Chains A and B, each alone.
Chain A
Amino acid sequence: MDQYQPIENELNSISPLLAGLQRRTVFSVPAGYFDGLADRIMQKIRLLEEGKDTDANELADVAPLLHAMARRNVYTVPKGYFEQTIVQPPARVVSMHRPRKWMRYAAAAALTGAIGTGIFFASRKEQAGDYEKYTKVDVSSAIDKVSDTELVNYLDKNERLTGSVDQTMVTASEELPDLSKHISQYSDEELKEFLDENKDLELVKETPGGE
């Protein structure tokens, strides 16, 4: 047939071996199988439609007594049970995507951390830049450029600052305790014991000109 010519040609081009084989059915079928098949199928359909399906027929073959018994319920049900309207409370709707608090907190913490880290690195960069800038300033030459009058005016204006530094230094020297008096409070044993425990201080003691 012309319709099948392309199919033959196609097979010849792919596999001449297969194209050369006889396309006959090799499997065997029980004799007369197709005769009456349509009737057998129709009979099965009728049984299914009548509710007498093959499982019921199977029971009749295996256990005829069981198959013949009346299929009625033997259990009793409280009177009017099926007439009762059972009102059930509406089921609680549970959201499939319930927001989780810990996730919110975690997100907030992550965001804060990211911002904080950014600020830290940015400020470090600025500080490092400032430090570098300051190290390059020649302070003495800058001061040389300032006139004496301007320096005096500045010191006058900031007297509190400069005065306090002087006061602190003076106070520190004036208030030092009298060392000889202080040492005399201790016995020779205590002093010896102290020196034994702090041998490295002996060098100071033996330094020429030291008190």
Chain B
Amino acid sequence: MHPDDKELLFQFRVPATKERAFNAIVKKYQEKLYWHIRRMVINHEDANDVLQNVFIKVWNALEQFREDSQLYTWLYRIATNECLSFLEQQKKRSALSMEDLDAAISDKIKADQGFDANQLEWRLQLAIQQLPEKQRIVFNLRYYEEMPYEEMSRVLDTSEGALKASYHHAARKIEEFIKNY
């Protein structure tokens, strides 16, 4: 059982309990954030780097965190921005064209130990990678995290209507891809 966020935030602001509170926050959210990042960057090593950077940023900024939003929403916001920055840097570093980059991401998925092209769940992963980055985030947050649009709107700073349209569009594209694979 994880402690309450408000209690953890209070403990974080007290120097004597700061590290212990932070440790508890990491333990509470590490898996959720890891999977959110992993579905975007695919590779475990990359996901590990991005996740560590996220928590370092959290450590540095948590004292200034205003409790008018939920800690959970704030953490997802940082993780999403870190993912997008990472993918942007990857694109800049790579000399590959967009098509080749898409193929490289598909190759990363196929490189996973458990990959099985006959399984619909793996085809689903390949289909998700065909989506534009922001649409991919919306789909993942709704489909896997079952995040309400209201909350997602605070994470992505986008209107609920736009998010809903994006999710519907993404789901249809994915279904089309799976059927034709």
State whether these chains interact: yes
Instruction: Enumerate chain A interface residues (CB-CB to B < 8 A).
Output: 3-4, 7, 11, 14-15, 17-18, 21-30, 33-34, 37-42, 44-45, 48
How far is the CB of B115 from the nearest CB of chain A, in Å? 8
Among A15, A39, A48, the residue within 8 A (CB) of B172 is A15
Report the number of A-B residue pairs with Cβ-Cβ less than 8 Å.
Answer: 81
With known contacts A21-B124, A26-B125, A14–B30 Cβ distance under 8 A: no
B63 near A: Cβ within 8 Å?
no
Q: How far is the CA of A45 from the CA of B114 in the complex (A)?
A: 33
B146 near A: Cβ within 8 Å?
yes
Among A14, A29, A30, A38, the residue within 8 A (CB) of B23 is A38
25 contacts between A and B (CB under 8 A): A3-B148, A4-B146, A7-B148, A11-B143, A11-B171, A14-B168, A17-B178, A18-B124, A18-B143, A18-B171, A18-B174, A21-B121, A23-B144, A26-B112, A27-B44, A27-B112, A28-B44, A28-B114, A29-B44, A37-B26, A38-B23, A38-B30, A39-B23, A42-B19, A45-B56
How far is the CB of A53 from the nearest CB of chain B, in Å? 11
Pair A26/B114 contact, Cβ less than 8 Å: yes
Chain B residues, Cβ within 8 Å of A26: 112, 114, 119, 121-122, 125
Chain B residues, Cβ within 8 Å of A7: 142, 146, 148
Additional A-B contact list (20), CB under 8 Å, known A15-B175, A24-B121, A48-B56: A4-B146, A7-B142, A7-B146, A11-B143, A11-B171, A18-B174, A21-B124, A22-B121, A26-B112, A26-B119, A26-B121, A27-B38, A27-B44, A33-B48, A38-B26, A39-B23, A41-B56, A42-B19, A42-B22, A42-B23
With known contacts A18-B175, A42-B19, A34–B59 Cβ distance under 8 A: no
Among A17, A41, A44, the residue within 8 A (CB) of B179 is A17
Chain B residues, Cβ within 8 Å of A18: 124, 143, 171, 174-175
Pair A37/B30 contact, Cβ less than 8 Å: yes
Chain A residues, Cβ within 8 Å of B101: none
With known contacts A21-B121, A25-B35, A28-B112, A15–B59 Cβ distance under 8 A: no
Chain B residues, Cβ within 8 Å of A33: 44, 48
How far is the CB of B71 from the nearest CB of chain A, in Å? 16
Total chain B interface residues with beta-carbon distance under 8 A: 41
Provide the main secondary structure of the chain A interface. Answer: helix
Chain A residues, Cβ within 8 Å of B52: 40-41, 44
